[in-house]
Amino acid sequence: MIAIGERINGMFTVVKDAIAAHDPRPIQELARQQAAAGAAYLDINIGTAAADQEGTMKWLVETVQAAVATPLCLDSQKPAVIKAGLSVCDTSRGVLLNSSPLNRKSDPDVLTKYASMAMEAGGGLIALTMDSGGVPQNVDRRVEIAAEILTKAMELGMMPEKLFIDPIILPVNVPGAQAQPGNILAAIDQIRLMSDPPPHITMGLSNLSQGTAERPLINRTFMIMAISHGCDSAILDVLDDVLVDAVATAEMLMNKQIYSDSFVKAYRSTSGAQR
């Protein structure tokens, strides 16, 4: 499981406040905690409040990589913000760019831009099953967009093992959205068969439970369901020990980790990058 720690995101009040105050300490503390919990990558997202977005991304990248050796996952919908992050990023550790849709009305070549930057950095790319029409609400269109992304990436010279397809999970409590988690599982079943080796499958797990009363329970349960369908990565709360132990168990039951009486301990003692 390629676990991407979600906590360094301006969506969280502590991070937003630390960015505003230019205080590295709370951010470096979150970086250390997530690295210790076994994150393979740390997501870096400036949120929506920052005035100078490129400068804020640079500061966050420098702040985090001064504290931990974990590779980063630069998270922005703007190519210029990703580019700014990359300009100060130690990509020799590895890097993920997060994320590009297939295309966008205002930027038809957005996927080419992200894929080119990822390849130049020797890193991976997260691509969303989304196009200029928005987020598809059915299985078939998700799968079609994933196939178009995979084809485009391979045409550009990116290998499937560097590509992470994100079927986009949205809050389950939104009216009409309750069929989507099931649709996403059905889409994952098909995306896994598109190439050998297949692209990775990732998702922003915590989106699912936003605004609900049982957040951890919903996140943990869906993570395990998705792993059983072949999902092998997520942007998630690695500080949720019950979630991480459940992931270890799901991977053992899927025959991806060897069973021993101490399999949870073994999983936790393996660095995130090697799981």
Sheet strand arrangement including 95-100: 200-201, 163-166, 124-128, 95-100, 72-75, 41-44, 2-5, 233-236
Q: Which of 65, 103, 206, 219 binds ligand THG (CB under 6 A)?
A: 206
Instruction: List the one residue out of 217, 208, 270 whose CA is nearest residue 246.
Output: 217
Q: C-beta of 13: minimal distance to ligand THG in Å? A: 5
CA angle, 54 then 47 then 167, to 5°: 105
Amino acid at 44: I
By CB under 6 A, the count of residues binding ligand THG is 17
Query: If binding is defined by CB under 6 A, does position 11 make contact with ligand THG?
Result: yes
Q: Are 196 and 153 in contact (CB under 8 A)?
A: no
Task: At 53, list the tokens.
Answer: 């977005």
Query: If binding is defined by CB under 6 A, does position 98 make contact with ligand THG?
Result: yes
Query: If binding is defined by CB under 6 A, does position 6 make contact with ligand THG?
Result: yes
| Residue found under tokens 């870096």 | 44
Query: If binding is defined by CB under 6 A, does position 126 make contact with ligand THG?
Result: yes
Query: If binding is defined by CB under 6 A, does position 75 make contact with ligand THG?
Result: yes
Q: Which of 91, 112, 195, 207 binds ligand THG (CB under 6 A)?
A: 207
* Stretch of 81-89, 110-118, 179-187, 206-214 contacting ligand THG, by CB under 6 A: 206-214
Q: Which residues bind ligand THG (CB under 6 A)?
A: 6, 9, 11-13, 45, 75, 98-99, 126, 166, 168, 204, 206-207, 210, 235
